[in-house]
Structure 1
Amino acid sequence: MAAPATASASDQVVTRVSAADRAAALAYWTPERMRQWAGDDSLPPAEKIGRLWEGPVPAGVGRLFFTAVPGVDESCTATVVPSATNDVALTAGHCVNGGLDRFDNPIKIVDVVFVPGYDHGAAPHGVFPVRAFAWSATYSGPTSGTDDDAVLALDPVDGRHVADVAGTQDISFEKPPSPVDTTILGYPVSRLAGGEALLSCARPATLETNSVVSAWRTDCDLAGGSSGGPWLRDFDPVTGKGTVFGATSRGTMNEDGVTLDLTSAAFTDPVRALYERAGDL
C-alpha cells in the first residue's frame, strides 16, 4: 500500500509510494490489463464532437492507470510538464484522491503508473511508476470542483526521465482572456476507443465564476477517462505543442451516459505552489 496521505507544512497532501509497491504496480499493469475496457458494450456512447487524434500523441500526454481499493481498476489522463527533475506530470485531483466510501472510510489509490504516448496497448516511451502524488490542501476531494488538480512524481525508467523521452507541454498560471480557443486531449473510456486511443476537442472555453468555484467550461463531449487531460491554448497541431491552462475536472452527462460538457478548475495560487514544489516529491 502507499504510505498514508498526510498534510505537509506547505499545505499540500502528499502520498509517497514505497519501492516495493512501485514494482508491484509495474507488474500489475500488463498490456492485457491496460486494454481490459476495449470492446465493452456497456461503455458510454461514442463521442460526436471529440475526434480520434491522428498521428503521434502530442508531447508529454499519456494515460494514467490506477486501482481504487478494494480493487476497481480505473484510468485517467495526465501530461508531463516542465520541472527541474524532468519527472513531473499534471492530472486531476480526483484521479488520485479517491474520497470516501459509503462508510466514510478513505478510498486508497494504489498501483499508479503513467504511460506517455499510450496507443492501443503500446507504451512507446515506457511505463513509469508513480513514486509520489500530491494535491493542494484546498482541494477537498471528488465532490469539490475547486483546485481539482494533482501532481505526479515519476520514477525514471532505465535511467531516463519522462520529460527526456516523452517531452513536455508548457504550463501557465495566468488566466487567458475568456473565451479562449482550446484544445482538450484525453483518453475517454467510451465505445469509440475504450480508452485505447487519444481523442481531442478543439472548442472555445469560457470562464465561469460564482461564489463557490471558478471554472472553464466547453461543450466537449469526451467521456470518463479523459479526466486530468490538458486544456491547451495556442496549440499547434503540427508540432503538437501548446500551453496548459487547466485539466479536465468534471463533466455533465445525460441519462444515456453522453457527456454534455466539460469543466476545468481555473488555476489558483495554491495549485501554482503545488506545481512549483512538485520537484521535491
Structure 2
Amino acid sequence: MKHTTFRAAVVTAVLSLAFALAGTPAQAAPKPFWTPEAMRAAVPMDQLVKTPAFTPKDVARGQSAIIESIPNGGGAWTGGGKVTQTAGRVFFLFNGQKASCSGDAVTSGNGSVVVTAGHCVKYQGTWHTEWVFVPGYNNGNAPYGQWPAKTTLTTPQWEASEDMNYDVGMAVVNPLNGQRLTDVVGAQGIAFNQPKNQSMYAFGYPAASPYDGTKLIYCSGSTFTDFLLTQDHAMKCDMTGGSSGGPWFLSFAESTGAGVQASVNSFGYTFLPGYMFGPYFGTDVQNLYNRAQAA
C-alpha cells in the first residue's frame, strides 16, 4: 500500500508539473483601442461641439468664442524633415465619442511632452479619456507608435473658465518599448514671451472637408494680433477641423523641418473665414510647460 500510494503521488506530481510547464493555451494580445479603423473614424473635435457658433453680436457682449474646427489651412507639407516626425494626430474620447486633434513633441526634461490645444485635453468641463498621440500619422498607420498619455494638463485659465486666450494643453506620454517619445521622434524647440506679429508656420492634420486627416497640412506667412475678442496670434489660413492643437513655429527652416514652437491652432470666427488664431505663449503657458516636463 505504501508503494502504491507513493507511485500515485509521483504520477500526480509529474502530471501537475507537466501541466504547469505546458501552461494554459496562448491568449491573443488585447486589441488596441485605437485601431486603424477607429483612428480613421474619429471625428474632428469641433464637429462634436453642439453650441451655436460665435457671432459678431457676441463680441459686443464680450462672450467667449466657441471652438470651430480651426485652424484654417494651406497645402500638404512635402518638405520632409523633423516636423514629419514630431507633429502628429491626437485621438481621444470626448463624452464617449471618438474625436481627433493635432499635437507636437517638444524638447523637455522628461522627454515625453506633447503640446496641443486646451480643448484637445478638456472641454465643457470634461477631461478627455483614452488619449493617445500618434506622431507622423499616415492614413491609419502609426509609423512611430501610439503614445498613451500618463497625464494631461492645461492652463489654470482654460481649466477654470475655458478662456480662449489660454487654450493650450499638454500631455505627458508613457514610454513605449522602453523608450521616451523624443528619443524616438526628436523634438522641436519651444519659446515663451516672444515678440508678436512675426512670420510663422502652422501645421496640423485637418480632417473635415475638403481634408480627410491623412496628410500633414501647413500654412505660412505674416501674423497679426486678434483685434476682436482675444489677444491671440492670427494668420491667413483655411485648415479645417482636426487641426486644432497643431504647432505654430517661429524661425522655421524648411530645409530641416525644425523650428521653435510658440503657439497652437486654436479657433476661428465664423464670420471671418480663411483666418485661424492661436494663443500667445506667455508666462502662464511657460508655467504649464514646467509642470509637464517635471511630471
> Which structure has the highest strand share of the two?
1
Matched, 1:114 2:114: no
Matched, 1:53 2:77: yes
Counterpart for residue 11 of structure 1 = none
Q: For 1:147-158, what aligned pairs fall within 5 Å after superposition? A: 147-158=166-177
Counting aligned pairs with the same residue, the percent is 32
Partner secondary structure for residue 168 of structure 1 = coil
Counterpart for residue 20 of structure 1 = none
Mapped to 2, the partners of 1:87 and 1:33 lie a distance apart of: 24
Matched, 1:235 2:252: yes
Matched, 1:64 2:90: yes
> Which structure has the highest helix share of the two?
2
Q: 1:87 aligns with which of 108, 112, 115?
A: 112
Aligned 8 A contact 2:202 2:218 in 1: yes
Q: 2:287 aligns with which of 268, 273, 276?
A: 273
Partner secondary structure for residue 268 of structure 2 = strand
Deviation at 1:279, TM superposition (A): 2.1
Which consecutive residues of structure 1, in runs of 5 or more, have no partner in the other structure? 1-22, 100-105
Alignment RMSD (CA, Å)? 2.7
Deviation at 1:196, TM superposition (A): 1.4
Mapped to 2, the partners of 1:160 and 1:140 lie a distance apart of: 31
Check 1:37–1:74 CA distance in 2 against 1; reply closer, same or farther (3 A cut).
closer
**Structure 2 letter corresponding to 1:231:** W
Deviation at 1:177, TM superposition (A): 4.2
Q: 1:187 aligns with which of 205, 210, 217?
A: 205
Deviations 1:247-271 (A, max 9, x none): 11112235xxx94211011112111
Deviation at 1:176, TM superposition (A): 2.6
Matched, 1:126 2:145: yes
Aligned 8 A contact 1:98 1:142 in 2: no
Report the number of matched residues.
241
Counterpart for residue 40 of structure 2 = 35
Deviation at 1:145, TM superposition (A): 0.8
Check 1:175–1:272 CA distance in 2 against 1; reply closer, same or farther (3 A cut).
same
Aligned 8 A contact 1:145 1:213 in 2: yes
Mapped to 1, the partners of 2:227 and 2:291 lie a distance apart of: 27
Mapped to 1, the partners of 2:231 and 2:199 lie a distance apart of: 18
Deviation at 1:136, TM superposition (A): 1.6
Counterpart for residue 77 of structure 1 = 102
Aligned 8 A contact 1:134 1:151 in 2: yes
Mapped to 2, the partners of 1:190 and 1:114 lie a distance apart of: 19
Mapped to 1, the partners of 2:227 and 2:251 lie a distance apart of: 23
Counterpart for residue 183 of structure 2 = 164
Q: 1:245 aligns with which of 262, 265, 269?
A: 262
Q: Report runs of 4+ in structure 1 exceeding 4 Å deviation.
A: 140-143
Deviation at 1:192, TM superposition (A): 3.6
Deviation at 1:112, TM superposition (A): 0.4
Partner secondary structure for residue 139 of structure 1 = helix
**Structure 2 letter corresponding to 1:148:** D
Aligned 8 A contact 1:133 1:151 in 2: yes
Q: For 1:197-276, what aligned pairs fall within 5 Å after superposition? A: 197-208=215-226, 213-253=230-270, 259-276=273-290
Check 1:194–1:259 CA distance in 2 against 1; reply closer, same or farther (3 A cut).
farther
Mapped to 2, the partners of 1:53 and 1:218 lie a distance apart of: 17
Deviation at 1:235, TM superposition (A): 0.8
